[in-house]
Amino acid sequence: MRYVVLIVMGILSALLSGTAFSTSFDVAGLGIQIDLVMLFTLGLVLVEKNIAPIVFAALTGLLMDILFSTTLGIYALSYTVAAAAASVAVHRLEKFNFLHIFAVGMGGYIVKELMMALIVFAQGARQFEMGTILLKDTLPSAAVCGALLLLVYLLISLLYRNAWMRPRAAAHFMDEL
C-alpha cells in the first residue's frame, strides 16, 4: 500500500507542478514558482532514512521529462541530485527543528535550480544571466519552498504514522545467528 500511495503522490505532484503551478506567482515583482515534486521529495527525505526518496525523485522527474520537457533527463537528474544532496545533509540528524526543515527546503530548491541551469548551459544556451535569475527568481522561490516544506513535512509525517505506510525493517543475515 505504501508504494501505491507514493506512486499516486508522484503522479499528482508531477501533473500539478507541470500544469497548475508551472506559471510564476508575481507577488511584488518576484517570480515565485511552487514545485510540488521538490516539496514531496524533500518531505520524504526528512521522513525516510533510506533510498526511497531518491528513487521517488528520479521516477517522478522522469515522468516530468516525458510529459513536459523536450530534453529527457533534465528534471530527473535535477530532482535526483537535489534529493541525494538533501539526504546526505539530513542523514546524520537524529532530531531537527523547523529551521533545519526550512534550510533543507531552500537548499534542495537551490540545488535543483542550479543543476537545471548547468544542464541548460551544457546544451548550449548562453543567453541567460545566472546572477539575475538566482536573485530574482530562485531565492524567493526557495524561501517559499522552505516555508511550504514545513507544512508538507507535517502532512507526510502524519501519513507515515499509519502502520501501512512505514517501511518494513530489513532483515540482516546476521539476525538469525
Average pLDDT, integer, range 19-26: 66
Q: Express each pLDDT in 30-76 by its tens digit.
A: 667 788 999 999 999 999 888 999 999 999 999 999 998 888 889 99
> Using 50, 70 and 90 to split pLDDT, how confident is the model at 28?
low
Q: What global pTM score does this model have? A: 0.85
| Domain boundary assignment for the chain | 2-159
CA distances, 86 to each of 11, 134, 142, 168 (Å): 22, 19, 14, 23
Grid cell locating 146: 522552505
Indicate the fold that domain 2-159 takes in CATH.
Arp2/3 complex 21 kDa subunit ARPC3 (1.10.1760)
Handedness of CA 85, 91, 93, 98 (dihedral sign): positive
Chain Cα centroid distance, residue 158 = 19
